[in-house]
Amino acid sequence: MTSKPSALEGRRVLYISYNGMLDPLGQSQVLPYLRELASQGVRFTLLSFERPNAFEADGAVRCRELRASLATENIEWHWLRYHQRPSLPATVFDVIAGTRYAARLVKRNRIELVHARAQIAATIALRLKQRFGIKFIFDVRGLMAEEYVDAGHWRKNSVPYRLTKTMESRALEAADGVVTLTERIWPVIREWKGIRGRPVVHEVIPCCTNLELFKFSPEDRARRREELNVSDRFVVVYSGSIDGWYLTEQMVDFFVSLARTRPEAYLLWLTPSRHERIRELMRSKGVSERDYAVIAASTQNVPSYLSAADAGLAFIKPCFSKLASSPTKYAEYLACGLPLIINAGIGDSDFLVTIENAGVLVTDFTDEEFARAAEIVDSLHGELGETRERARQIAERYFDVRQTGAERYTRLYERVFSS
């Protein structure tokens, strides 16, 4: 992106994220887009909710350093404390505190548009639109209420579920622009109360990744494989959280099936916590400690571990809420040249295998299906150089934070400002 669209030069936007910027998820999924748009002249005010470590000595220093860095990029950052428990009262408190603080920012910085990332932030943005009459973009990201039900955290029609759906409906009714992560979910949301039958600017923007950070490195591959002592082994990697809608047990079952035909198979878990849960599960499935590792890797180190792998694994519960999902790990795997081992029914992702031939699509969690998938994985590994190049090209076409992500956000902003 080499030019600065005049329609965005000097525009004043308040971006609200319930993710903290000291959280790797916040930094990887929020800041790249803001930086790209700020480079085109958008003047951002960023409001995030940070966990307690941001208010302790080391965290406070990191916040000040990040704030100073962002200020040089035309992004003014403010943060409030995130309250976690008790869940519902804590969230209500955060919404009230966030609305009051954000209102001061709107007045002081002469904000023209509020961009809300997901449902909690949209609750704050809705009140700002009602009070100040500014433009409002609802970046849906996913179906929050349905995700909590599908993950087993809420019951359908419970108080948190009903409150979330009510707020969501009101936000959709007021939004000038809506972002979804997938094409598949938009016809569903388009018929929901609050948005049905009215004109609204819409963009599909999948979860993208920084292709300068996530890329294959031969040097990192050699170094990490030596550290793991897997010099000639076939390494399958899973990166991310476990359980909930991530099918941890089914992923282990697939690995066990793969190891029957590839005894040299090795499973690398890159996950921040619950390592003992993984070890217990691997023991229960008869997997030796020699055949896997569990590592809590920082965001900066994940690409080097992905470079050490030969395929990227991710099984996700194929439920209604996941029609709206665009897993970032898919983009990261592909960017590092890894073929995918994924299951069907997650957002728009089936096409990555059925059309783009980016790996293996598992349609059922059975021994027969796992055996079929293992054969395909074996054939892909036999064409490692070609497979790695094809995976990277797919990432560049669909998941580049600059080309796909920032360009679509630019188009969205221009359309909302002109509406």
4 pLDDT exceeds 50?
Answer: no
19 pLDDT exceeds 90?
Answer: no
Report, as an integer, the average pLDDT of 298-303: 92
**Strand order, beta sheet including 359-362:** 292-295, 265-270, 234-239, 311-314, 340-343, 359-362
Mean pLDDT of the chain, nearest integer:
93
Q: State residue 152's pLDDT score.
A: 84
CA dist 25 and 7 (Å) reads: 30
346 pLDDT exceeds 80?
Answer: yes
Q: State residue 88's pLDDT score.
A: 87
Report, as an integer, the average pLDDT of 317-336: 96
1 pLDDT exceeds 60?
Answer: no
Please report, for residues 175, 224, 264, 303, the alpha-carbon distance to residue 115 in angstroms, rounded to integers and kept in the order given: 10, 40, 49, 30
Residues 59-96 as b/e (b if ≥16 CB within 10 A, e otherwise) read beeebeebbeebeeebbebebbebbeeeeeeebeebbe
**13 and 177 Cβ atoms separated by less than 8 Å:** no
145 pLDDT exceeds 70?
Answer: yes
Q: State residue 124's pLDDT score.
A: 97
User: For 110-113, which contacts have Cβ atoms below 8 Å and span 24 or more sequence positions?
Assistant: 110/12, 111/12, 111/13, 111/14, 111/45, 112/11, 112/12, 112/13, 112/417, 113/11, 113/12, 113/13, 113/14, 113/137, 113/176, 113/413, 113/416, 113/417
Confidence of residue 6 (pLDDT cuts 50, 70, 90): low
**Which pLDDT tens digit goes with each residue over 29-61?**
899 899 999 999 999 999 999 998 889 888 899
Report, as an integer, the average pLDDT of 388-403: 95
Report, as an integer, the average pLDDT of 386-397: 94
Residue keyed to tokens 């966030």: 98
**Which pLDDT tens digit goes with each residue over 225-276?**
999 999 889 999 999 999 988 999 999 999 999 999 899 999 999 999 899 9
Per the model's pLDDT, the better-predicted residue between 117 and 86 turns out to be 117
